[in-house]
């Protein structure tokens, strides 16, 4: 069913979606405009004349033009930063755009490309060899049996509710709400079906997606086509030569991510409704962030100061925390919900 849907989408894209080649163009300087460019040309012209004929008249013409250009640059810079501050004051401004602006202002360097990989006392320079070596390492990190957690743990948890979570019946309305909120700037997965195309063909996709999603949840089968993803190694820290210093960034198929979002929303609503989320957990929760955690910590410290009590704080930073999650314990815990 998924193959038939994808082939139908490809045919429609081939017939109705125009294709063209994008070329990389140099980004415009936000501090320049037509008047500044024109004044800069005049400055260079007067400077050339002054060098050829160093008279007082040519010197005054060049100096005045340079002062005028500096003033225009100053005004443009002030206007640029004022415009940025107005954007940052907007509460609906996305965090991604916020950090893009911060990186530009701080002039942070872009992450370097993949360097030569040293593995088993050999240096690999070929791209295919580097992809194979790093890919094998990533695959080793997601195995359910890593040789470390070899103890059969019988996890038991008493929750405050006896309600059992069940996969919902996916309706067209649920799919439609997810599609309407898709970000069209998200990169495509291996199937090359973009979010923009999904939003444009929303009504035509509701019926087949409803059937596929419900069939998958009822039979416990996730389509093989949606398990494939394009991954890119991103350098995390330290040496570029070690494969352990890279982490994968995966681009999954957009149709499969719609089902993932539906499952996440219903499961999160269930946990929230039955008070199964720890109140001291501030990460990955709605209307919660590290700022709330920081406020709580400061409140506790100040409260202890008022009571003439000491405060002891222990900070832990687990390297590759998600890779160290025991899958057996995780599955047993989910089974108790």
* String of DSSP letters for 179-190: HHT--TTSPP-T
Q: Please, which residues bridge with residue 249 across strands?
A: 232
What pLDDT, on a 0 to 100 scale, did the predictor assign at position 151?
47
Q: How confident is the model at residue 240, as a pLDDT?
A: 84
Going 323 to 324 to 329 to 335, the CA torsion angle's sign is negative
Instruction: Give 62: exposed, middle or buried? Use CB within 10 Å, 0-12, 13-18, 19+.
Output: buried
List the structure tokens of 48: 């050339």
C-alpha neighbours within 13 Å on the C-beta side of residue 68: 17
In angstroms, the Cα distances linking 276 to 120, 289, 298 are 46, 18, 26
Q: Helix, strand, or coil here: 241? A: coil
| DSSP code of residue 132 | H
Residues with Cβ within 8 Å of 188's Cβ and at least 6 positions away in sequence, in order, are: 194, 251, 254
Cα–Cα dist 242/283, whole Å: 30
SS3 184: coil
- For residue 44, the model assigns a pLDDT of 92
Residue 318 and residue 297: Cα distance in Å, rounded? 20
Please give the C-alpha separations between residue 285 and each of 94, 99, 262, 278, 320, in angstroms, as whole numbers: 17, 20, 16, 10, 20
- pLDDT of the chain, 337 residues: tens digit per residue: 788 888 888 888 888 777 766 666 666 777 788 888 899 999 999 999 999 988 999 899 999 999 999 999 899 888 888 888 887 777 777 777 777 777 777 766 656 677 788 888 888 888 888 888 888 888 877 655 544 444 455 555 555 567 788 888 999 999 999 999 988 888 888 888 888 888 888 788 889 999 999 999 998 888 988 888 888 888 887 888 888 888 888 889 999 999 999 999 998 888 888 888 888 888 778 888 778 888 888 999 999 999 999 999 888 877 777 777 777 887 777 777 7
Separation in Å, CA 104 to CA 10, 74, 96, 101: 38, 18, 12, 5
Report the alpha-carbon distance of residue 89 to residue 81 in Å, rounded. Answer: 12
Nearest C-alpha neighbor of 246 from the set 110, 108, 114, 109: 114
**Within a 13 Å sphere around the CA of 296, how many CA atoms are in the beta-carbon half?**
11
Q: Pick left, alpha or beta for residue 196 (phi over 0 → left; psi -120 to 50 → alpha; otherwise beta).
A: alpha
Whether the pTM exceeds 0.85: the reply is no
pLDDT at 247: 84
Q: Could you write out the DSSP letters of every residue in 142-171?
A: T-S--SS--S--------S--PPP-PPPP-
Q: What is the pLDDT of residue 23?
A: 65
């Amino acid at each position: 069913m998924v193959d038939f849907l994808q082939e139908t989408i490809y045919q429609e894209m081939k017939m109705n979606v125009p294709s063209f080649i994008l070329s990389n163009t140099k980004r415009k300087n936000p501090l320049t405009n037509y008047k500044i460019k024109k004044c800069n040309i005049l400055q260079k012209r007067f400077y050339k004349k002054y060098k050829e004929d160093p008279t007082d008249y040519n010197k005054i013409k060049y100096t005045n033009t340079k002062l005028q250009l500096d003033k225009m640059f100053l005004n443009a810079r002030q206007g640029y930063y004022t415009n940025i501050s107005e954007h940052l004051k907007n509460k609906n401004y996305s965090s991604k755009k916020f950090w893009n602006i911060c990186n530009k202002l701080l002039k942070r360097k872009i992450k370097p490309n993949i360097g030569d990989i040293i593995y088993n006392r050999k240096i690999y320079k070929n791209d295919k060899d580097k992809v194979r070596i790093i890919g094998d390492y990533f695959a080793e990190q997601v195995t359910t049996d890593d040789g470390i957690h070899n103890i059969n743990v019988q996890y038991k948890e008493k929750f405050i509710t006896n309600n059992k979570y069940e996969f919902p019946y996916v309706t067209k309305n649920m799919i439609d709400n997810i599609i309407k909120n898709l970000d069209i700037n998200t990169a495509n997965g291996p199937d090359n079906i973009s979010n923009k195309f999904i939003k444009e063909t929303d009504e035509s996709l509701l019926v087949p997606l409803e059937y596929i999603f419900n069939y998958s949840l009822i039979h416990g089968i996730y389509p093989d086509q949606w398990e494939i993803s394009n991954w890119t190694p991103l350098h995390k820290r330290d040496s570029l030569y070690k494969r352990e210093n890279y982490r994968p960034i995966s681009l999954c198929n957009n149709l499969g991510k719609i089902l993932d979002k539906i499952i996440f929303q219903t499961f999160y609503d269930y946990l929230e409704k039955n008070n199964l989320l720890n109140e001291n957990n501030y990460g990955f929760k709605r209307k919660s962030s590290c700022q709330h955690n920081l406020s709580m910590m400061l409140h506790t410290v100040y409260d202890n100061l008022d009571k003439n009590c000491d405060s002891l704080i222990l900070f832990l930073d687990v390297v590759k925390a998600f890779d160290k999650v025991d899958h057996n314990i995780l599955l047993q815990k989910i089974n108790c919900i």
